[in-house]
């Protein structure tokens, strides 16, 4: 319940602020290719590639992320990971970001016949246009529900993720509410244990000087499990 309160409070603080006075919109496409599985026993990993397109189908950002983890129990896995992010800036040099992160995945039960889970991620961030270390917490709640009884071939899927920055940095991060992502779509089973998720993703970013950026993304995520 603490995670639910955190996300609700973050969203309420943002939506009731005057920052909505200036909102910039963009239509985007996000693609996520993720492989995950067991290395040996309870030692697990994931590795992902995420190109993100916007501003007229131009590649805006490329994210490469991987992590190794340990299954603490059937419902809890703890990871240590690293990410490299390249952000394209039109007319200027690209910005490179390096991230170390710690992540806890939890299965929270099966309310109303679906599956509820959470992901808590603590990030340490460094960017090529500054020297400070930014600390950020990300909290996701995810719920999926079969569209047919006794079948998981196609699931309705919703999730939301709140981002909270802990400190200001010389490269532009500001402490407090950073962004909120919300996804609505479907999870489709593929041969084996792999799945593909297709749907709409809304990304609302709290920017400086009372500005807000809202990205409307067609999102496709392929999970290759082995």
Q: Token digits for 58?
A: 């131009």
Name which of 169, 137, 200, 188 is nearest 2 in CA terms: 137
3-state DSSP call for residue 122? strand
pLDDT of residue 152: 66
Tokens 């994210």 -> residue: 63
CA dist 93 and 129 (Å) reads 10
Q: Give me the pLDDT at residue 143, please.
A: 98
Walk along the chain (226 residues) and give the pLDDT tens digit of each residue: 555 454 555 554 544 444 445 889 999 999 999 999 999 999 999 999 999 998 767 899 999 999 999 999 999 999 999 999 999 988 889 999 999 999 999 999 999 999 999 999 999 999 999 999 999 999 999 999 999 866 668 999 999 999 999 999 999 999 999 999 999 999 999 999 999 999 999 999 998 767 899 999 999 999 999 9
Say what the pLDDT of residue 19 is.
Answer: 42
CA distances from 202 to 14, 20, 38, 86 (A): 14, 15, 32, 21
First to last CA, the chain: 32
The answer to whether 179 and 204 are in contact (CB under 8 A) is yes
Return d(Cα 146, Cα 113) in angstroms, integer. 8
| C-beta of residue 206 within 8 angstroms of C-beta of residue 19 | yes
Q: Delimit the domains of the chain by residue range.
A: 2-31+99-225
């Amino acid at each position: 319940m603490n995670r639910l309160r955190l996300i609700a409070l973050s969203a309420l603080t943002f939506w009731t602020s005057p920052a909505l006075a200036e909102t910039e919109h963009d239509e985007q496409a996000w693609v996520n290719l993720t492989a995950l599985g067991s290395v040996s026993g309870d030692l697990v990993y994931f590795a992902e590639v995420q190109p993100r397109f916007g501003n007229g189908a131009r590649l805006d950002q490329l994210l490469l992320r991987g992590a190794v983890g340990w299954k603490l129990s059937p419902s809890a896995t703890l990871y240590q990971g690293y990410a490299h992010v390249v952000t394209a800036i039109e007319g200027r040099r690209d910005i490179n970001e390096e991230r170390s992160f710690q992540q806890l995945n939890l299965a929270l039960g099966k309310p109303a016949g679906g599956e509820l889970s959470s992901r808590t991620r603590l990030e340490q961030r460094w960017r090529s246009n500054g020297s400070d270390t930014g600390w950020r917490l990300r909290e996701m709640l995810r719920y999926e529900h079969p569209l047919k009884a006794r079948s998981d071939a196609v699931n309705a899927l919703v999730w939301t993720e709140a981002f909270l920055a802990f400190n200001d940095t010389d490269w532009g991060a500001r402490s407090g509410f950073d962004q909120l992502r919300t996804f609505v779509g479907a999870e489709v089973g593929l041969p084996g244990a792999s799945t593909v998720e297709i749907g709409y993703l809304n990304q609302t970013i709290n920017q400086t000087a009372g500005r807000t950026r809202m990205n409307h993304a067609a999102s496709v995520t392929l999970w290759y499990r082995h």
